[in-house]
Chains A and B, each alone.
Chain A
Amino acid sequence: MDIKLKKSEPFTAWLCFFLAASIIGGLLITGLSALARFDGSVQALKTTFTDYKRSIAFKEQTGNYYRELFNLVADPAADPSSKEWTVKYLDNEGENLIYYAVNKDSGLLVKNIEGDLPQISGAEIMPDLPAGYNYYWYFDGRKVWVVEDGQPVDVERLDSGYRGIIPGIYTDNNSGLANSEIFLAVKDTLGKNPYGHSQYYMEQQFMRVLGWIYIALLAIGISLLVYAVIRRREKREFDRVLASWSGKMWLEVKAALSLLVLSLAVACSPSFSGGYVFTFEWVLGNVVVSGFVLFGFWWFYLMLVDLIFNGKSFFTHNSINSLFAWYRKYESRYPWQKSMLNRAYLLVAAEAVLALMSVLFLLTGISAGGLSLLAAFLIAGAGIYLIYRYLKLYDETLSDLGRLMDHIKIVKNGDMKTRLEVPADSNVYPAAQNLNSIQAGIGIAVAEKMKSERLKIDLITNVSHDLKTPLTSIISYVELLNREEGLPEHINDYVKILSQKSERLKNIIQDLFDLSKANSENITLDMEQIDLARLIKQTLADMEEPISDSGLAFRLNIPDEPVYILSDGKKLYRVWENLITNALKYSLPGTRVYIDLIADGGTAHAGIKNTANYEMNFSADEILQRFVRGDASRTSEGSGLGLPIARSFTQICGGLFNVKIDGDLFKVELRFKQYFRERKDD
């Protein structure tokens, strides 16, 4: 119930507003129409409201009576029955009205005054009237005089309320009225007439009631308006509902209805000034007119609300757009390429039809002219508009397609964050959505991959730490044992073995860690321009002692000029150190080790060759697998990771690493892209 109440509140508030505006508007229209009746004289309207005897209705009614008498006086040949009818008509007022009319030329005399006629000469003289009659009209044969409370009234004044009411205010000498007199006097207090229907009395009563109704309606209207203003937020809610209803109408329908309403209101407006004021007919007429005008008002109010709430769609929701939208929907049932083609075909067909029609109308227009010519131009205009729409759509589709292609490039380049925004009504919208979801999917996959790489690094670091900590204790205590004196000889041998093996374990762990780190692709590199020739020379100089101890001859073919590459010097040193160590370890005594470096202007080729001191019964691939050692035995020093580390480090430094085995010849080839900073600076 509570909900229902809340739901109805907007409507209630709106209804209050509607009634208030209607009532106030109706009263306003009535007032305006009354004002129009007095040619815009506010003074006359004011007296009309305050006193019936001053009202236009009273004056008009008196004018009616006067007209009857005037017609009798002016038409001596009139039928006697009309005289009888007039007397009867006037006598309905009873004591409220005394009158006489004389035409001495035709001998006509009608009166309801007993005894002699009052002596009147113009308006200056106050006639000898019975008590209670203070208002009279007097026609002296030439002019009409009106006297209110002993004061003559200037009947020609706009605000007097007599303009257009008194027939024959002036007459000339030849009209046959020179010897005529008409006199009318109205009683001060109008009484109910038991003999007939006093128009005066009835109108006085009606006006009194009408005044109260007017005031009551005004009060109701104002209080409703106040309520509506207080609840304006709820009222607005219902405005929104109204807007949503009227928003469903096409613009064309609205325009047509608006024209219709406007013409109705205009057609009604002349009746504003018609009829008697404050008579029943007048009120009824005003209600009808107000109804039409108010209907017009509410219609345009609805349009205004529609415009405010629906904004742009007030204009865009029209039959043409609806037609296009319907076509879109129809089109979406076909594959993209088919619908694009269909659209082009349809355009051609429609253009053909329109062109034909235009030509036909033009031909008939040349002979008939006018409307046909206009139709021809309109149809031609429609054809041009259709082409414009098609081209615009085509342009939009192409630009969206271009953006789609650009975005594919963006995704290809690794940007997984930027979204492709394409309007929902675009032809490539589904494709854009699909691309966006592919991009999001890849983004998630990459993030997962990064996360698992991160975990891998953490694992390597932690395992390395957990291996190194106990090893530290082992090595430390073995060293302490080593320093003990007086141990038996065989215990010393044991300690020596422990010392060697723990040292080897240390090397293996360190190598394993380095290799895992390199392979996890998450190693920090310090890339700079270095001279590969110098690096090889430096490494050889650094290892001079073991080289000269080995008895092997090193044959170098390294250029004197620098061979620049972009690499990490420390890592590359490790590569060459490993390669040279490898050569020293596995070369046949007395043979030569060849180190070559050739730069061909684009690529630096470096190589190391040695003759193996054992039969290499394995492939180049096998030797690069971790823990496969050249001599297949595992007794010697070293971790067996020398070559894999050299390869991994070469690769992360941006080089290629290749092993070749040819009989007893063991050959490692390295390739790097040459780096020319000078060229870059140009």
Chain B
Amino acid sequence: MEKQRVLVVDDDREIVNAIAINLQNEGYEVLKAYDGLQALDMISAQSVHLIILDVMMPKLDGLSTMLKIRAEKNIPIIILSAKSEDTDKVLGLSMGADDYVTKPFNRLELMARVKSQLRRYLSLGDVNVQSRPNLLQSGGLCFDPESHTLMLDGELVKLTAKETRIMELLMRSPGRIFPAEEIYERVWGETAYGVENTVMVHIRRIREKIEINPREPKYLKVVWGIGYKIEKI
């Protein structure tokens, strides 16, 4: 099989090198670019499967570069930025990034995200989804209500019965916030009383199975002071 090719773009050469070493250790082929224009040249010259893109760069900044790439190609893009504000993340994701990692990053987390994006991109799981409209989907998460199975980036996630029912409940209304009581009553079928802990324990366990960084969840989120929800992606 052809080696998967990852383009790393950052104006800091040492960071590019460190990421490259890690990626090569994982068995990827790595291309390096040090500004946006260089990155655009490389993308047009050869096929690239994933791009890790810095935001603050000379000549052409990351967001502009991303807009130019998005005008032509659908390659997964992971933004790697020192900007850690929520607003920055929302901006990056809404402009077409598939994921957002803040600097200083954790090696394992970055590698996991690269893997996740590549799997989604190359497995063409989306085709399946389109052919089955009754599938519940949010981003890379996909719940099949017939077989009661949850797929993450095309891979089966092993869940317990309660976890499956919680996910089914949340996945049926992505974006809706469920208070702990409601989750408890609908999953356990009992009157809820002081159930915050029980629900939270389950939520946390699911998170550990589907989230790359459970402390910064992408899909299953706590809405503080209100409840829990599946992010609508």
Contacts and interface: CB of A to CB of B under 8 A. Distances in A.
Contacts of B204: 542
- Identify which of B15, B180, B196 gathers the most chain A CB atoms within 10 Å of its CB: B196
A513 interface: yes
A465 B11 CA distance: 13
Contacts of A616: none
B21 interface: yes
A475 interface: yes
Interface string B196-212: 11011100100000000
A245 B56 CA distance: 72
B21 A534 contact: no
Interface string B212-229: 000000000011111100
Contacts of B83: 461, 465
Given A541-B196, A541-B200, A544-B200, A506 B104 contact: yes
**Centre residue among B18, B56, B87, B227 by max chain A CB count within 10 A:** B18
A681 to B, nearest CB: 18
Contacts, number: 101
Interface of A: 461, 464-465, 468-469, 471-477, 479-480, 483, 502, 506, 510, 513, 517, 524, 528, 530-532, 534-535, 537-542, 544, 560, 567, 569-570, 572-573
A476 B107 contact: yes
A218 to B, nearest CB: 85
A472 B82 contact: yes
B15 A534 contact: no
Interface in B92-130: 103-105, 107
B179 interface: yes
B196 A538 contact: yes
Contact of A471 (B18, B21, B104, B194): B104
Nearest to A510: B84
B84 A572 contact: no
B159 interface: no
Contacts of A479: 18, 107
Contacts of B104: 468, 471-472, 474-476, 502, 506
B224 A569 contact: yes
6 contacts: A468-B104, A476-B105, A502-B104, A524-B86, A544-B201, A573-B222
- Closest A-B pairs by Cβ, 10 of them: A530-B225, A541-B200, A569-B224, A476-B18, A535-B225, A537-B196, A468-B82, A573-B224, A472-B104, A472-B103
Given A477-B18, A572-B225, 7 more contacts: A468-B103, A472-B82, A472-B103, A510-B84, A534-B226, A537-B196, A572-B224
Interface residues of B, number: 35
B18 to A, nearest CB: 4
Nearest to B181: A534
B196 A473 contact: no
Contacts of B37: none
Contacts of B40: none
| Residue among A532, A538, A572 with the highest chain B CB neighbour number at 10 A | A538
A480 B18 contact: yes
A534 B197 contact: no
B19 interface: yes
Given A513-B84, A538-B225, A569-B226, A473 B14 contact: yes
A316 B103 CA distance: 77
A576 B21 CA distance: 40
A476 B104 CA distance: 8
Contacts of B22: 476, 480
Contact of A534 (B14, B19, B196): B196
Contacts of B179: 534
A567 B82 contact: no
A570 B85 CA distance: 12
Interface of B: 12, 14-15, 18-19, 21-22, 25, 56, 82-87, 103-105, 107, 179-180, 193-194, 196-197, 199-201, 204, 222-227
B224 A538 contact: yes
Contacts of A535: 224-225
A28 B216 CA distance: 104
A469 B84 contact: no
Contacts of B105: 472, 475-476
Which of A472, A510, A537, A567 counts the most chain B CB atoms within 10 A?
Answer: A472
B82 A530 contact: no
Nearest to A461: B83
A542 B225 contact: no
Nearest to B227: A534
Nearest to A483: B25
Given A569-B224, A569-B225, A572-B224, A469 B82 contact: yes
A477 B56 CA distance: 21
Contacts of A541: 196-197, 199-201
Nearest to A536: B225
Contacts of B87: 524
Nearest to B197: A541
B225 A465 contact: no
Given A465-B82, A472-B12, A569-B224, A544 B18 contact: no
> Which of A469, A510, A528, A560 has most B Cβ within 10 Å?
A469
Contacts of A474: 104
B224 A530 contact: yes
B50 to A, nearest CB: 18
Contacts of A528: 226
Nearest to B110: A476
A489 to B, nearest CB: 23
A573 B196 CA distance: 15
Contacts of A464: 82
Given A469-B103, A480-B21, A537-B196, A567 B15 contact: no
Given A468-B104, A531-B225, A538 B200 contact: yes
A532 B224 CA distance: 9
